[in-house]
A = this chain, B = another copy of it.
Amino acid sequence: MSKPAFLPHDHNHQRCIDAALAEARAICQRKHSRLTPQREQVLRLIWQEHRPIGAYELLDKLREEGLKAAPPTVYRALEFLQENGLIHRIESLNAYTGCSHPSEPHASQFLVCQQCQRVAELGSEQIAEQLSEQARRAGFASAHQTVEIRGTCAECLRHFHV
């Protein structure tokens, strides 16, 4: 993990979007997963911001873009994208965010800024390992970890002096 967790608020975000979509297409091609136009559209909408987006907010955006969509449309796309490791669900927000490094399976921890609502992904194997280890000491076999840290990002700390 060399990349900074949160990019500056004014970074060139179009690059994030383009890179995420390109990587998604490559991954799906490799896996023979069908990243259909609708699914790609949903992924693109999710990547519009680093702020997680809810299913119904996505639904609205799909409709704004002219698609005749109903809730299942969105939830099916979300399911596909999750199964293929392209997005994560943020449990504490009931919302979805693009995965920052979808190419390899990984444990994730999320930093959720209360001020700007952005989310960044830590990919600390160390944390994941320690969690698994502590669980193991209780005789517990870990299958999946949900780690979400709510707080204030560096930029918001500077701007709002919270």
Contact = CB atoms under 8 A, between A and B. Distances in A.
B131 A142 contact: no
Nearest to A137: B5
A127 interface: yes
- The A interface is mostly helix, strand or loop, or mixed, namely mixed
B146 A92 contact: yes
Question: What is the interface residue range for chain A against chain B?
Answer: 35 or more
A113 B142 CA distance: 9
A36 interface: no
Given A6-B138, A91-B92, A151 B143 contact: yes
Given A131-B147, A145-B148, A111 B91 contact: no
A134 B124 contact: yes
Given A127-B131, A131-B109, A146-B146, A138 B120 contact: yes
A152 interface: yes
Interface string A100-144: 000000000101011000001010101100111011001111111
Interface string A38-52: 000000000000000
Interface of A: 4-6, 91-92, 109, 111, 113-114, 120, 122, 124, 126-127, 130-132, 134-135, 138-154, 157, 162
A133 to B, nearest CB: 10
Contacts of A154: 138-140
Counting from the closest, the 10 A-B pairs by CB-CB distance are A139-B154, A5-B138, A91-B91, A146-B148, A142-B151, A143-B151, A144-B150, A141-B152, A91-B92, A111-B140
